[in-house]
């Protein structure tokens, strides 16, 4: 019995220590964005890796999500004779929810796993130790450029995802529901305007739709760096770090999305 308690105690201590290390890494990664030396070249390279190379997968996800959303909704809306509101429904769902979450999940799968595998390999082949011995802080050199690039590129990918998704809805509205394109886009704008504005000109839907990917970008990159930098146990450890990164960041995205939505809805009350 006492052995069980000791084991549980050790497990609890280890978990608390891991959470502490996660937040320390997050704080240092963000703090070093404003500290010299700036690894600008590394940031640009990571923006290419995270943003440009994820474009294909995000375009496909956005297009087909928008199309299937319009297709499913049109059946329901036709029942009530409300097909003209298809644009509102697709735009609201894509900008506020599906765009950020799907882009986040796609980036977590493609980029998060890549970062964890790369840093994990560097860890097990002593390249992280080599950086340390060469007088370079590995967090500043490796984590900060990735976190900064994700903070910039995940919102950009989300905007593209939203646009392509709404365009996909337009295709279904025009060719399968028979809704005029002008009416579709007018209802899209009505949806955006109906949510109210922040600082008079920024639609609240945009604030909500861009706050989320910013947070998701931080979650994906920090989680990937966290598991990558603490990899042990050779190639098996690298595989394990990759899996943990994708699972943890995906779950965190879904949980944080709920609380963030509640927070943003209470802060951005429509007039």
Interface with other proteins in residues 29-88 (CB under 8 A): 37
Nearest in space to 69 (alpha carbons), one of 176, 155, 156: 176
Least distance between other proteins and beta carbon 116 (Å)? 16
Contacts of residue 168, defined as CB under 8 A and 6 or more positions apart, other chains included, come to: 62, 63, 64, 65, 66, 67, 69, 70
- Residue 21 as a binder of other proteins (CB under 8 A): the answer is no
Shortest distance in whole angstroms from residue 128 CB to other proteins: 9
Q: Which of 194, 245, 238, 207 is nearest to 95 (CA)?
A: 207
Residues 128-147 that bind other proteins (CB under 8 A): 129-130, 132-137
Size of the site for other proteins (CB under 8 A): 14
* CA 54 vs CA 23, 157, 167, 214, 250: distances in Å: 27, 8, 19, 16, 16
Give whichever of 5 and 134 is closer to other proteins, judged by the CB atom. 134
Q: Is 197 helix (H, G, I), strand (E, B) or coil?
A: strand
Q: Which stretch binds other proteins (CB under 8 A): 97-105, 122-130, 157-165, 207-215?
A: 122-130
Residue 76, class by beta-carbon neighbours within 10 Å (0-12 exposed, 13-18 middle, 19+ buried)?
A: exposed
Near other proteins by CB under 8 A: residue from 125, 232, 262, 270: 125
Pick from 21, 126, 190, 236 the residue near other proteins by CB under 8 A. 126
Q: Could you report how far apart the first and last alpha carbons of the chain are, in Å? A: 60
Instruction: Mention every residue, 6+ apart, whose C-beta is less than 8 A from residue 214.
Output: 151, 154, 155
Considering the complex, what minimum distance in angstroms separates the CB of residue 138 from other proteins?
A: 10
Least distance to other proteins from the beta carbon of 13, Å?
A: 13
If the CB atoms of residues 75 and 130 are measured against other proteins, the closer one turns out to be 130
Q: Which stretch binds other proteins (CB under 8 A): 123-131, 155-163, 196-204, 232-240?
A: 123-131
Nearer to other proteins, 67 or 115 (CB): 115
Shortest reach from residue 38's CB to other proteins, in Å? 13
In whole angstroms, the minimum distance from the beta carbon of 122 to other proteins comes to 8
Taking Cα atoms as reference points, which of 201, 206, 198, 214 lies closest to residue 253?
A: 214
- The CA distance from 37 to 205, in Å, is 37
Chain positions contacting other proteins, by CB under 8 A: 37, 121-122, 125-127, 129-130, 132-137
């Amino acid at each position: 019995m006492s052995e069980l308690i000791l084991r549980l105690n050790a497990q609890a201590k280890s978990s608390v220590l891991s959470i502490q290390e996660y937040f320390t890494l997050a704080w240092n990664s963000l703090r070093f964005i404003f500290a010299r030396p700036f690894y600008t070249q590394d940031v640009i390279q990571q923006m290419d890796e995270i943003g440009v190379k994820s474009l294909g997968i995000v375009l496909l996800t956005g297009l087909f999500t928008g199309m299937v959303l319009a297709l499913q909704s049109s059946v329901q809306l036709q029942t009530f004779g409300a097909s003209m509101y298809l644009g509102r429904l697709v735009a609201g769902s894509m900008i506020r929810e599906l765009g950020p979450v799907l882009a986040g999940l796609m980036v977590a799968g493609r980029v998060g796993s890549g970062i964890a595998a790369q840093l994990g390999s560097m860890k097990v082949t002593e390249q992280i130790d080599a950086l340390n011995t060469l007088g370079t802080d590995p967090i500043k050199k490796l984590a900060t450029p990735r976190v900064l690039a994700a903070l910039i590129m995940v919102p950009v990918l989300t905007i593209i995802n939203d646009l392509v998704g709404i365009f996909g809805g337009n295709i279904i509205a025009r060719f399968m529901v028979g809704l005029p394109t002008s009416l579709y886009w007018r209802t899209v704008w009505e949806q955006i305007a109906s949510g109210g504005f922040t600082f008079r000109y920024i639609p609240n839907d945009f604030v909500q739709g861009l706050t989320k990917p910013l947070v998701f970008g931080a979650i994906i990159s920090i989680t990937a760096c966290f598991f990558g930098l603490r990899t042990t146990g050779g190639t098996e450890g690298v595989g394990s770090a990759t899996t943990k990164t994708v699972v943890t960041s995906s779950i965190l995205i879904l949980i944080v999305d709920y609380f963030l939505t509640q927070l943003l809805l209470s802060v951005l009350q429509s007039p």
